[in-house]
Every structure is written in C-alpha cells, then in structure tokens.
Amino acid sequence: MSLAREYNFDGIVGPSHNYAGLSWGNVASATHRNRVSSPRAAALEGLSKMRTVAALGIGQAVLPPLARPNLRLLRQLGFSGTPEQLLRRAASSDPVLLAIAWSASSMWTANAATVSPAADCADGRTHFTPANLGSLLHRSGESASTTAVLRSIFADPEYFVVHDPLPCSAALFDEGAANHTRLCVDDGQPGIEIFVSGRSALDRSAVAPRIFPARQTIEASQAVARRHQLELRCGTVFIQQHPDAIDAGVFHNDVISVGRANLLLVHEQAFLDQSRRIGELQETWAVRFDTPLFVETVTSAELSLSDAVASYLFNSVLLVRPDGGMTLLCPAECRENGAALACTQRILAGPGPVDDILFMDLRQSMRNGGGPACLRLRVVLDAAARSAAHPGVFWTEHLDQQLVAWVQRHYRDSLAPDDLRDPQLMQEAFSAMESLADILGLPRNVLCDQA
C-alpha cells in the first residue's frame, strides 16, 4: 500500500449562514426560505463533524469560508459607494440581490473544485479545477475567490496544479466534485474517475430535465478530465444523470450516489441507461483490478426518490478507516426516515465493505440542501504533498479549540432575513474573517478580499 491518504477538506460555515431560498431545484433550500438560521449552531455542527472524522483516524482539514457580503458582486451589478452604502442600496433596490451577496454557500466545498489525485494524472501532480458554479448567481460569485484560496493552500507547483475555472458559459457549467467520484483499490495508485453530468450543451438530441435545471454539462466534465490529463493513467467514465432524478430535486449527483475505494452506493434511478452504464463501469474496473467492485443499488421500492432527497442517504460520507474498515457517516435525517434507516441496515449487513454507521446532526446545513458529503472536498495527498501544502489548514485538536472559540466570539446565534440589511453584521463578518486568516496562517488579502 502507498502512503497516500484521503483528506476531507471541510468548509467552515461562514458567519452569514442564512435561508434565502436561492437554489432553484434544491427542495430543502426552497422549503426553508425565510426561516431564521443559526450561523453559530451551523458552524459548530460542521466543526463537530470534522472532530468525529478526525477521531476515526481519517485525514481532516478545513477550507475557510469566503468573505461575505460579496461587495465585488454588488459593484459588478452597478451599485456604488462605501460598503455601507452598497448594502443599503442593494437592500432597497432588490432584497434578493442582497441575499445573494450574503450567501454563505461556499461552506459546501464539494462544489469548490474537481480534484484528481496525483496518481491519476499524467504529470504526477494533483490537479484542481475550481468550479465555475455558473448555473446560480449566488454560487458563481464563489469561483474567483475559491481559486485564490486553493492557490494559497496548494501553492507548490512541484505537487499541485490549480487551474483557472472553466469559462463561465452555459455550455460549460461545472459544479465540481459534487458530480465526480473516484474509485480505487489504493489511494496512491491510479483509479477510476466517474464524471456525472445532467445535460449536453452541444448535442441537441440529448435528453434533459424538464422542470429543474441540469447544473453540469458533459462538455464541462470532459474538459476537466482533459485538463487533469487522466486518459493515460486512470479509467474515466462519463455518465448522464437521470433527468427524472433532477426533476425530483436531485440537483447534484452526490444527492443520489456516493462512491469511495471499492464501493459505489447508488439509487436505481440515478443514471440514464443505468444498468448498461454500471456494466461498463464494472468492465473498466475488471481490466484494472483483480478484487471486486461493490455496487450497492438501492431500489425505488426500498427508497423512493423523494425519500432519497428528504433523507439525503446518498449524501452520506464513506470513510476508509486506518484499520481498513469503512464507516458510513449519514445525516441524522436518515435515522428518522424509516425507509432510509432500513437501507443503512441492509448496507451494513450486506457483502460490501461498510462495517460501521454513524449519524450526525447537520440540520443547519441540511435545511439548505447541504449534507455531510456536500461539506467536504476530498484531496488525496502523500507525505511529500502533505508537507508541501499550507500546514495551517490541517485539523489538530488545537485548531479545533481555536475554531470553536472563534465561532463563539464572532458568530450570531440567530439570523433573520432582515438582519442582512444590518451594517453591523457586515463589520462582524469582516472582522471574523481577519481573525480567521490569522488562525489559519493564510494571507488576510486572500481571505478578506471583499472587505
């Protein structure tokens, strides 16, 4: 076995976490629109998840939130003046634009980038393509800042390549790792990368969802695979999401399937032409590896699409522990949904590698459609690459204590929609970011680029 390990880079929930109902096609976001949020509880839930994962002996790290409100966006939209004036003018002109500028959506780091481990890439470096997130205005504003953050953490060109995001055209909408899964027998050896898209931009005959938007194009997925130089070393598989799943609220593939190592857990209505595509995946696996690939398919009779969306079973995280076993870390909603709970028990009892199940309360994030898997970006690093990355973002007990104290000091306990008009909230949010930059040892000008 190689010494490469998977690190979960979890997004720290930002101080403006709120429920603005901005995500068309994301049922939870629409359902909780205009509710009062608790940024403090949200951030503490996220830190608790990181602590749980680290305690299992799994690589854990953090990605900082992006500075909000997004003043650059407000200026691009034609507002002018001091930060306070920008806030007031946006609030009186269009409260939805104000909410967009305040969105804390960078917490869902599965959408930060697509990451290909060094072993899969022809040049032997870890490749990142930050997602352009072009399909939603509040998310597209993340891309430039996320690129800068990734470049400051993974700065060493001997080990890392952080590409520019793809051009932000509707033909190239890209949602990052939420639509990307890697299977392998050893993190440090070439694996199989699965790219899932919702539509084709250039093939007019291809089917597409009718109600909700498909956020990822196959053209974007193919471009990312080309940039990451995958074809020489690893297997690549391109699959289309089932349009009916998208129309049922499956806005990202990680709401309907999750894979890790030698396991793919998938709902039977996840993909178009699913049995043929899974057959091809099995063949791609079989020519590379002599151990089995476990594909656990959950049927609609076991779990309807609407229960899959409500419970977020497939947004669970699969964690390979140092003892070789696999833990399925599920949202607490899976314990409360009888059908989802029964699926977890079947998966545990089945022939696959899962031998442990944990449930985590991540309700603040879940109410915006962000479960355990949305909150983390997976990056495989060997010892040399780990040393080359910025040390301040890796989880330690000390960092955990610092972050808990930082949240307690800087975060509000509750945030109502009208609070987004409050200039004091802006001061609090920017000062929290300055203090976080110091804790993580990252440049203030990168973390506080809006302030």
The residue from 13, 22, 298, 437 that contacts ligand SUG (CB under 6 A) is 22
Tell me if 252 contacts ligand SUG by CB under 6 A.
yes
Kindly report the length of the chain. Answer: 451
Query: Residue 425: in which H helix or E strand, if any?
Result: helix 423-440
Judged by CB under 6 A, which stretch of 200-208, 278-286, 367-375, 383-391 contacts ligand SUG? 367-375
378: buried, middle or exposed (CB in 10 Å: 19+, 13-18, 0-12)?
buried
CB of 267 to ligand SUG, least distance (A): 14
With tokens 């998966």, the residue in question is 347
Q: Which of residues 129-158 bind ligand SUG (CB under 6 A)?
A: 139
Determine the 3-state secondary structure of 175 from DSSP.
coil
The residue from 254, 268, 296, 307 that contacts ligand SUG (CB under 6 A) is 254
Q: Nearer Cβ to ligand SUG, position 152 or 368?
A: 368
CB of 384 to ligand SUG, least distance (A): 29
Tell me if 229 contacts ligand SUG by CB under 6 A.
no
CB of 82 to ligand SUG, least distance (A): 26
Binding residues for ligand SUG, total number by CB under 6 A: 22
**Taken in order 384, 386, 389, 391, is the CA torsion positive or negative?**
negative
The residue from 101, 131, 153, 255 that contacts ligand SUG (CB under 6 A) is 255
17 a catalytic residue: no
380/386 Cα distance (integer angstroms): 9
Catalytic hit among 252, 267, 330, 343: 252
Task: Characterize the bridge pairing of strands 257-260 and 263-267.
Answer: antiparallel
Q: Which of residues 380-419 bind ligand SUG (CB under 6 A)?
A: none
CB of 21 to ligand SUG, least distance (A): 5
Task: Characterize the bridge pairing of strands 113-116 and 5-11.
Answer: unpaired
CB of 70 to ligand SUG, least distance (A): 13
65/71 Cα distance (integer angstroms): 15
Tell me if 178 contacts ligand SUG by CB under 6 A.
yes
Rg (CA), the chain: 21
252 a catalytic residue: yes
Judged by CB under 6 A, which stretch of 15-23, 35-43, 230-238, 267-275 contacts ligand SUG? 15-23
Tell me if 374 contacts ligand SUG by CB under 6 A.
yes
Tell me if 26 contacts ligand SUG by CB under 6 A.
yes
88/103 Cα distance (integer angstroms): 17
Task: Characterize the bridge pairing of strands 294-298 and 263-267.
Answer: parallel
174/389 Cα distance (integer angstroms): 25
245-274: burial string, b at 16+ Cβ within 10 Å, e else: bbbbbbbbbbbbbbbbbbbbbbbbbbbbeb
Q: Are 52 and 358 in contact (CB under 8 A)?
A: yes
Q: Nearer Cβ to ligand SUG, position 243 or 249?
A: 249
Q: Residue 258: which of 185, 305, 345, 316 has the closest Cα?
A: 316
Tell me if 378 contacts ligand SUG by CB under 6 A.
no
Tell me if 368 contacts ligand SUG by CB under 6 A.
yes
Tell me if 108 contacts ligand SUG by CB under 6 A.
yes
Count of alpha carbons within 13 Å of 262, Cβ hemisphere only? 17
Tell me if 45 contacts ligand SUG by CB under 6 A.
no
150/389 Cα distance (integer angstroms): 10
CB of 110 to ligand SUG, least distance (A): 4
Judged by CB under 6 A, which stretch of 50-58, 105-113, 392-400, 430-438 contacts ligand SUG? 105-113
Judged by CB under 6 A, which stretch of 40-48, 101-109, 271-279, 302-310 contacts ligand SUG? 101-109
Tell me if 23 contacts ligand SUG by CB under 6 A.
yes
Tell me if 310 contacts ligand SUG by CB under 6 A.
no
Catalytic hit among 138, 374, 410, 448: 374
The residue from 37, 103, 216, 344 that contacts ligand SUG (CB under 6 A) is 103
C-alpha of 327 from chain center: 19
175 a catalytic residue: yes
- How far is CA 21 from each of CA 27, 30, 213, rounded to the nearest angstrom? 9, 5, 16
Catalytic hit among 6, 142, 175, 333: 175
> What is the arrangement of strands in the sheet containing 59-63, beginning at the earlier edge strand?
59-63, 5-11, 376-381
CB of 179 to ligand SUG, least distance (A): 8
- Supply the residues annotated as catalytic: 175, 252, 374
Residues that bind ligand SUG (CB under 6 A): 19-23, 26, 29, 103, 105, 108, 110-111, 139, 178, 251-252, 254-255, 368-370, 374
